[in-house]
Amino acid sequence: MNRHRLWIATSRGRWAGWTLAGTLLLLSPFALTQAVAREGVEVGQNSAFSKLVPAEDVERSAAQQFAQLQSQAKAKNALASRDDPQLQRLREIAKKIIPFSLEWNPRAKDWKWEVSLISSPQINAFCMPGGKIAFYTGILDKLKLSDDEVAMVMGHEVAHALREHARERMGKTAVTHGAARIGGALLAGVFGIDPNLTDMLARGGANLLTLEFSREDESEADLVGMELAARAGFDPRAGVTLWQKMSAANKGAPPQWLSTHPSGGSRIAEIERNLPRVMPLYERARR
């Protein structure tokens, strides 16, 4: 987020009576927001590479692929019905998180948010551009996630969408390959979509299948996601227990969610280092 330092000219004489409060009254709402130091985590601006691919195109492609994924999961009896308790739980958590997304991306107010639950043993979850959220039952059942831990996962994935990390990956790929047309395999590769549930991978370029979010993207999503969860009233300290569970699950064959999400002690340490920035937000939300 951009930060502008507010300078107020004062001098002896007729300007001595000017005050910060009086000056703030003259500012626009946007300038006022920028003038007051924000609470929460600190991250930089979105990558310039994201501007190389129109947001509308990315969101349209994501919506189409999400609909295809849902359709194919339903055909395999793998799509949870709307009265499924776990799906209802996910949607209630999403309802609390989504209102705080607008600060990070003004486009989010027009997104058609969706939350789906797919029956699959994979430990995986994602949020596609445009607010298309999916959890696999494996991540809920195998890790026995609390609501706070689910909120940390969801916040992390929503943060990827808000910060347009997939769009940035597409922009970089467009530059590398000299073309702006990005196949469906890109989103499938980025979000770890189960190839047993969808044949979308077969229609994309194989050279895009290994595309992953960068380490910087992951660190940013951790921080932004933690803030989103805290503002929504979920304990951000759950990020520590979440990654402890993830590390334990990573022993042996790595789950899909971890294959694109680097884990380890350094990740937990970064979360702990930023807890003082978000704990006041959580405590205020819980009052």
| Angular region, 47: left φ>0, alpha ψ -120 to 50, beta rest | beta
149 is catalytic: no
Please identify which of the residues 59, 114, 157, 220 carries the catalytic annotation.
157
CA distance 21 to 30: 16
Alpha carbon distances (Å) from 28 to 14, 15, 31? 25, 22, 5
- Hey, which residues are catalytic here? 157
